[in-house]
Structure 1
Amino acid sequence: MYKVDLPVDESALRAVERRRAAEAERKNRIFNSRSRVIGVDLRALHKQREEKQERLEMDKQRDMAHDLLRLSLDEMAMQQKKGEEELRRELAQDLVQYRAIHQRAEDSRDADVNYGRQAAPDASISVSGSALGPASMQVFLGEGMNENEKKKAQMEMNERNLTAQKEEREKQGREQKNRELLTGRELVDKDLRAVQLKALEEKCKRAAHIALSQYNQAQAEERMEREQQERLRREGEELAEVRYMVTSDLLTERPEAAKRKTESSAEGPRVLTDRWKGMTPQQISEIQRKREEQCLEKERLREMERQRDVAWDYHLTEQARQQEREKNRDKELNRERRIQLDKYNQQLAREHQAHQHYLDKQLYTNRPTVHYFTQFNTSSR
C-alpha cells in the first residue's frame, strides 16, 4: 500500500477551536470573581450598546427623512402658492380687460349725467330702433315709464320719512328731558329727605345726650347723698365706740367687775383677759415647780435615750464583726474552690495534649500536599 496525503477536515478543526474558545471564555467568566459576585454580563451589555446605537441611528435616519419630507412639502406649498398668485393675477387681468371692453362708463345709463350727454329716451316717446342704435335695450318694460312722477313721489315719500324721523327724534328728546327732570326731582326729594332725617337724628341725639346728662347728674347727687349719710353713720359709730371705751371697765380698771363676773360665771372660775391684772405669787410658785418637774423628766428621758443609743451601737458593732467573719470564711472557701478548679483544668489540659499527640503522631500521618489542593476547581465542568 502507498501512503496517500488525505485532505484535513477543516470543519472538525474549526469545531475543536470553537469549543476551546468557548471553554476559555467560560473559564474566564466563571473564575472571574468580579463577574461572578457582581453579575456583570458583558455580552448583554454589548448587545444593549449595539441596540442603543441602532436605535440612535434609526432615530437619526427618521429625523433626516422627516426633514427631507418637510423641505419637499414646503417647496410644494411655495409652488402651489406661486401658482395661485399667478392664476389670481391672470383672473384680475381678464376682469380688467372685460370691464374695459364690455362695461365702459360711456355706455352706462347715467352717461348723460356724468359726461354731459342727452337724457336717455323715455319709454312714452316712440323711438325707432335705428335711432337708438345698437344699445336699444337701455329702456326695459316698467323702468322708463312715468319716471318724473316716480321721482316726485319718491321725493315726497323721503320728505315724509324725514319729517316723521325728525318728529320722532324731537319726541324722544322731549321724553328724555322729562325723564331727566323727573330724575332730578327725585334726587332733590331724596336729598331733602336725607337732610330732614339727618336733622331729626341730630335732634334725637341731642335729646338723648341731655337726658343722659340729667340721669348722670341725678346718679351723682344720689351717690353723694349716700356717701354723706354713710360718713355720718360711721362718725357716729366711732364716737359711740370712743365713748364706750372711755367709760368701760377696761380703762377704768375696776376689779369689782372682774370679780363679780368671775363668780357669776356658770362655767366656773376663768380668766377675763380684758380685766386680768397679773398672776398671784402662789400661781407663780406653782408654775416654777411644774417647770422644775418638767426639766427633771426631760433629763431622765435624755438619759434613757443615751443608754438606748449605746446599746444599739454595741449591737451594730457585733453585727459588723459577724459579717466580717462570714466574709473571711467565704473568701477561704472560694480560694479552696479555685485551687481545685485549677487542678482539674491542668488535668484536662494534659489529657487534651495527649489526645492531640495521638492524632498528630499516630492517626493523621499522611498529610495532603499543595499539589492535592491544586487539582480541584481547574475546569469549568
Structure 2
Amino acid sequence: MMKLQISNERDRKEAQNRERRRQCELERRNRIFNARNRKIGVDVPFLERQVAEKRAERDEQTRKDLAFAAQMIKDSNLAVVLEAREKEERRRIGEEIDSFRQRFQRFEDRREYDLNDPEVLKKQLPPRAGDGAPVGMSSAQKFEGEDLDYEERKKIMAAQKNSWLEQQVQERKAAQEERKKAEAAYMMAIKARDARASELDKMERECRYRLGQANLRYNEALAAEKTQLDQIMKEQEEADNTAEMYNNLTSDMLTENPDVAKSSLGKNRAIGFMYKGMNQEEQKKFYAAQKDQMAAAKAKREAEEKMEAEWQALAKSIQREVARQDIADQRKRREIARQLMEENQLLALQQKEREKYFKEVVYNNTPTDLYYSQFNTTTR
C-alpha cells in the first residue's frame, strides 16, 4: 500500500520562508545589478539593517566566547586539582610497591640466587664427593664411567624444569589478577574522591549562599527596627515638647503668684510643679535623683559603646575574610594569566607556521581567469 507524505504546518512555513528569501534575492539582484539605480545611490535602510544584524551577531559571539572562556578556566582548575591528586596517588602506590619489594622480594630469596651467589665457591662440595667411590690423595679424579647417575639426574632436572615453568605461569597469572584488582580499586578510589570533591564544593556554595541570605535578613531587620525606634522616639519627643509648652503657657507659674504653690492638704504642703524654692532636704533628694539619672545614662552609654565595639569587631572580621578572599582571587588570576600567556605563545607559534604555509604554498598559486569569473554572480 502506498504511503503519501502529508505536509504539516512546519513544512508550509518552511516553504513560505524559502519563497520569501527567493523573492528577496530576486529584488536585491534587480536593485544591485541595475546600473541606473546603482549610479543614483545605495539602499541606506538595508545597509543600516545589515550593520545592526552584524553588531548583534558580534555581541552574541562575544558573549559566547566569554562564557566558553569562563568554563574553560573552571575546567582547567579542576584538571589541575585532579592531576595533582593522581600524581599523589601514583607516588603513594610506588612507595608501597618499593616497601613490598624490600620486605618480600629480597635478592637472597630469589629462586635463581644460587647462580648469582657471591659465596658459591665456599659452599661447593669437593669434586667427585657424591660419586660413591673414594678418591685417593694422589688420584687424578675418577675417570671410569664419569657420571653414572646421568639418566636419573636428567629426568629429575626435566621434572624440576617443568615444575618451575608451571610455577612461573601461575605466578604470572596471579600477578596479572592482582594488578587488575589494584587498577580497579584505584579507579574506584579516584571516582569516589571526585564525587566527594564535587559534593563538598556544592555544599560550600550552598552554605555561603545561606550565610549571605541570613546576614542580609539580619541587617534588614536591624535597619527596620532602628528606623521604627527612631520614629517612635521622635514622635514621643515632639509630643512631650508640645505638652510641655502648652503646660508652661497655661500654668500659673508664669504669673508669679505665690499662692499657687500652696496645697490644700496643709500649710506645710506645697505643689511641686509650682514651687519656686527648695530646702536642703529637698535639694538632697533632688541631687540623689539626679545621680540616679546620671548612673542610668552612663549605663546606657556603656551598653551603646559595647554594642558599637561588637559591631566594629564584626566589621573587622568581615574585612579580614574579604582580604583573604581577595588574596586567593589574586593568586587565581595570576595562575590564569600565566596559562593565558602560555596559550598565547602557542597560538603565536601556530600563527607563524600558518603564515609561513600561506606564504610558501597558498600565495604562490597564480589566479586564472576561471578564478575571477566566479565573482559578482550573486548579490551576496
TM range (shorter): 0.3 to 0.5
What TM-score results when the alignment is normalised by the length of structure 2?
Answer: 0.33
What TM-score results when the alignment is normalised by the length of structure 1?
Answer: 0.33
